Each structure stands twice: as C-alpha cells, then as structure tokens.
Amino acid sequence: MTIQTIVLLVVVGLLAGILSGLVGLGGGVIIVPALVFLLGFSQHQATGTSLGILLLPAGIFAVINYYQKGMIDVRVVLLIFIGFLAGGWLGSKISLSVNETVLKKIFAVVLLLIAGKVLFFDK
C-alpha cells in the first residue's frame, strides 16, 4: 500500500467517524462510495469492508459519549441489534447473489430515497 493510499484511507475513516458521531452516518454514505470511486473497489468489496469496520468496535468512543449523556436506550439498541443480526445475514446473502451493476443501482436508489425523505418529508 502506498503512503497516499494509507493517508486517503485514514481521511475517509476520519470523515466517516465524524459523520457517524455527528448524525449517525458513515459506512454506507461515506466509506462505500469512497472505496468504490477513489480506490477502485468493487461494490461487493466496499460493502464487505464497510461491514468489517462497522462490526468491529470502531464507534465505541462515540457510543460512550452518547451513553454518558443519556442518549442511548439500551433496550432499543438490543432489539435493533437482534434484527440487525438476522437482516445482515439475509442482506449479505442477497447482495452476494446479485450482479454488481444491479447492486450499485439498489445502493443509489436507497441513498436517493433517504435524501428525499430528509429533504422533503422530515418534520
């Protein structure tokens, strides 16, 4: 790995970490597109790499900060976690069976739907 690639990866991680701590975004919105467009990863490789970061305790310090301020409902976290386990397994099975071009289009549509909701339908 070149120094330039290492610096780029650290900067991507920094931006994803800042957005994750700030508004809960990071993996899908920052890391996946950066890996695809800046480093030439396939959509599948970028998704897998993003999940590798997510599933490691990368956000532990942000979680501690929010928990200390009483902003985390542990019951909700645990219930979503149970769904996330099953959904992550099912989603990865589906993703790995889908053509990369189709996967990129699904990814783009999901981002557009989220952006549209936040821009036009959020109270």
What tokens appear for 62 in the block?
């942000």
pLDDT in tens, 34-89: 889 899 999 899 888 888 787 667 778 888 888 999 998 889 888 878 888 888 88
Cα-based torsion angle of the residue sequence 78, 79, 83, 88 in order, rounded to the nearest 10 degrees: -20
- The pLDDT score that the predictor gives to residue 28 is 79
- The pLDDT score that the predictor gives to residue 68 is 93
Rounded CA gap, 83 and 8, in Å?
Answer: 33
- The pLDDT score that the predictor gives to residue 16 is 84
64: left (phi over 0), alpha (psi -120 to 50) or beta: alpha
pTM score over 0.75 = no
pLDDT in tens, 95-114: 999 999 999 999 899 889 88
- The pLDDT score that the predictor gives to residue 56 is 61
Residue 21 has pLDDT above 80, yes or no: no
What tokens appear for 69 in the block?
């301020």
